[in-house]
Amino acid sequence: MPDDDQDDLSADERDAIDMYYTACGWDATLSVAAGAKVGLLSKTEAGAQVTPERCAAAASGASIGGALRIDERADPEVAGFEVGASLCAVTPQGRVAKATITRITFDDDHHALVRFTLTTWVRES
């Protein structure tokens, strides 16, 4: 989410953001907010049964690092950001979220347009 898009959000809403998508010219990047627990399960890994525990482990592993280039020139498949892969996140409230990539297309500027299916779980204490 670009900084100017955050102006209409409350402080709590801004604090809840785990990832940011930015695009400028050819470059498109998915960035992880400081302190967020977000990881990427590759298509091969995601092909097996993804449990809340497995998704939480991927998120804790921070496999994205600080940022992941996902524009067409960056070759998303090489980065593992491809149809069938899943982004996993653990919220401060302990929920686990899995966003599985179902479609990637590119606009005229070669930025990724991504569709996901979202699954969330409440982890038991």
pLDDT value for 28: 78
pLDDT value for 112: 80
Is the per-residue pLDDT at 25 higher than 50? yes
Q: What is the mean pLDDT of residues 60-70?
A: 73
Is the per-residue pLDDT at 120 higher than 70? yes
For 35-46, write each residue's pLDDT tens digit.
788 888 887 765
pLDDT value for 3: 47
Local structure of residue 10 (DSSP, 8 states): -
pLDDT value for 125: 58
Which of residues 110 and 62 earns the better pLDDT score?
110
Q: What is the mean pLDDT of residues 49-78?
A: 78
Average pLDDT, the chain: 80
Q: What is the mean pLDDT of residues 8-15?
A: 79
Closest by alpha carbon to 111, among 80, 63, 69?
69
Alpha-carbon gap, residue 65 to 60, rounded angstroms: 11
pLDDT value for 47: 60
